[in-house]
Structure 1
């Protein structure tokens, strides 16, 4: 009988000792996105709720291009494109689509890439798939206007957790206790965290910073825009934001490793600091404000007149049910 992924994690920890939270998330998420058959059943994203979501992102992208694009051809880059349906909805905007010369999709999941190929079958001549940011950078042509899109990408990236109490700080790690996975605190000498943060749980991610630096560098070099949409916060409450979902039900992050979706809330204030470090102008809005500003109510009326069903429900879900989602545009 083959070992479960959880058994493999337990064996790893027994051999090498407790592992940091970001390593646990990285291993678990890689297995989940590449091997789990229940991804589409575990959670729902805005593009799955309504075509209007991607269409509004397309309107934003066109408005950015008309302001700053100078008639250049567009390379649109999506980080974590899921099943590809948001890109499909973005491309409904023909004024935008006619300017797009390249579509770069960044993903590490072969299972999801197969879905993307099916959903975007009419655009395969424009698409290239990448699994590293370096490859993306090497393939960007100098005459392109770059548009980055990332919806619910950053929340799935691994984070570190630290527990701080006055001058004491310890890292949250995953260990094995009585043959089961458990959370433990491990000593650390990270004095910067001590001096810069309040007491409580501190969440940081080198992955966040690396991707934001990458986006910023490309935009400054080639001229472009970026939109990041995710659930998160502006004011840090210094508590754990990790959650795990399986079959639309929340579960403990240690309960089904490699078989459940593990995510954390995105610190949009930190994102703003990184972009401002690169001297880039940013705006942060709630998802509701963003969708309203770029005309989702008008789009909903058009779809209703054309006979589309459940538009009121879709509108309510996107504007009110996803009330902890924010949008940062660059």
Structure 2
């Protein structure tokens, strides 16, 4: 009997038994119920530093983006997950916390620009990174005066921190509850006047409809990749553990995947030797641009940043002071200046792309507020003050927003409009972005 016949005989004799054994050995394993998952207690959870060092030991050096993501969002020890971080008692303060005028002027701006499109009802207000909810409180006060009722609008907040969600709910809602895990939103509530409020952990889950998108000091905390130009081309800056068991930077020996994916013309042209790119930020910018073009609405981005002239801006804040971002991770705010030139490239209308936003700006916060007639509102607040001390506080707060040496020049505004608005904006210049007075 030749070899081929022997193999055929063996197959007939053996394979049925193997199949039978595999079949009889199969067991149905019950999947765990996500609704019964529990987070470890604070006492049992490792520190952020321990998490980072163990990850480096197992997988090698971290990118700056990986480092920022872990430090900010670790479920038990992440910076934004544990405590309220905004305000005088926190590590930084934002414009809405300084004066009510800031949120009021943004609401007036959205209302004015929406009138160029139509009635703007029904309306979704979508805020990315709502902070303590202060800006939205000021928003709603203005919209009430402008005739918006509870049936005209809903509020959609993109927030990953349950701690901050509770803070926001306490400011905004009369009722508030967590939702089933199968729901697209994590929590929902209702204001005293009956406006529905929803919380999400991702912009993708927010319903697509005519919306006002607000991203105030949101992009600056999104993870960035840092790159250095060397004699051998662009290399990524990584974070590893040194001989003293401390975190430190080093340049990658080889070209990383991030270099190949993110560094493209025109970013790699000219005499730049340092780059910071947020893949997450570019993705969100593209989402906003696509949404306003497909569903209508406007997106307004307000953040501190530049137009591509800076290279190394990664830093940390603790108790309102700049500190080393690699020291005491999880206890300080990690941030980087927003490169508005990159946000423009991610969102601008170009042939063959699916995003079609008309991009305006950036303009400085000083110019945006003054062109939006903020001094008029300032005078009303001053005239309404009962004491000279109150008047001085109002003036001082406004000065903080517009003084070039404080927030006036460092903070910038950028807006996304639907592509169909291009000709209308030529006729009716956009409020805040043009030195011309709007015809509205």
Q: Report the TM range for the smaller structure's normalisation.
A: over 0.9
- Equivalent positions of 1:55-134 (< 5 A) are 55-93=104-142, 94=144, 95=146, 97-98=148-149, 100-121=152-173, 123-124=190-191, 125-134=195-204
User: Structure 2: where are the runs of 5+ without partners?
Assistant: 1-42, 175-189, 350-354, 417-440
Q: Which moved more, 1:318-327 or 1:122-131?
A: 122-131
The change in CA–CA distance for 1:97 and 1:231 in structure 2 (over 3 A counts) is: farther
- Equivalent positions of 1:222-233 (< 5 A) are 222-233=295-306
Q: Take 1:157 and 1:173, find their aligned partners in 2: how far apart are those partners?
A: 17
Q: Take 1:87 and 1:74, find their aligned partners in 2: how far apart are those partners?
A: 14
> Aligned residue pairs: how many?
324
Tell me the residue number matched to 1:182: 248
- Report deviation, 1:244: 0.1
Tell me the residue number matched to 1:42: 91
**Is structure 2 residue 329 aligned with structure 1 residue 251?**
no
Q: Take 2:298 and 2:326, find their aligned partners in 1: how far apart are those partners?
A: 38
Q: Take 2:205 and 2:370, find their aligned partners in 1: how far apart are those partners?
A: 36
User: Structure 1: where are the runs of 5+ without partners?
Assistant: none
Q: Which moved more, 1:158-167 or 1:27-36?
A: 158-167
Q: Deviations over 1:202-227 (max 9, x none)?
A: 11111011101111121111111010
Question: 4+ residue stretches of structure 1 with deviation over 6 A?
Answer: none
Q: Deviations over 1:176-195 (max 9, x none)?
A: 00211111111215357376
- Report deviation, 1:241: 0.7
**Is structure 2 residue 375 aligned with structure 1 residue 326?**
no
Structure with the greater alpha carbon radius of gyration:
2
Question: Is contact 2:220–2:337 with CA below 8 Å preserved after alignment?
Answer: yes
Question: Is contact 1:231–1:325 with CA below 8 Å preserved after alignment?
Answer: yes
Q: Take 1:184 and 1:247, find their aligned partners in 2: how far apart are those partners?
A: 28
Question: Is contact 1:76–1:100 with CA below 8 Å preserved after alignment?
Answer: no
**Is structure 2 residue 304 aligned with structure 1 residue 261?**
no
Tell me the residue number matched to 1:193: 263
Question: Tell me, what secondary structure is at the counterpart of 1:68?
Answer: coil
Question: Tell me, what secondary structure is at the counterpart of 2:116?
Answer: helix
The change in CA–CA distance for 1:264 and 1:307 in structure 2 (over 3 A counts) is: same
Q: Deviations over 1:9-37 (max 9, x none)?
A: 11221222111110000001110000145
Higher relative contact order (CA closer than 8 Å, sequence separation 6+) = 1
* TM-score normalised by structure 2 residue count: 0.70
Q: Deviations over 1:96-122 (max 9, x none)?
A: 643842110000011111110011125
Q: Take 2:375 and 2:411, find their aligned partners in 1: how far apart are those partners?
A: 18
Question: Is contact 1:166–1:199 with CA below 8 Å preserved after alignment?
Answer: no
Q: Which moved more, 1:16-25 or 1:36-45?
A: 36-45
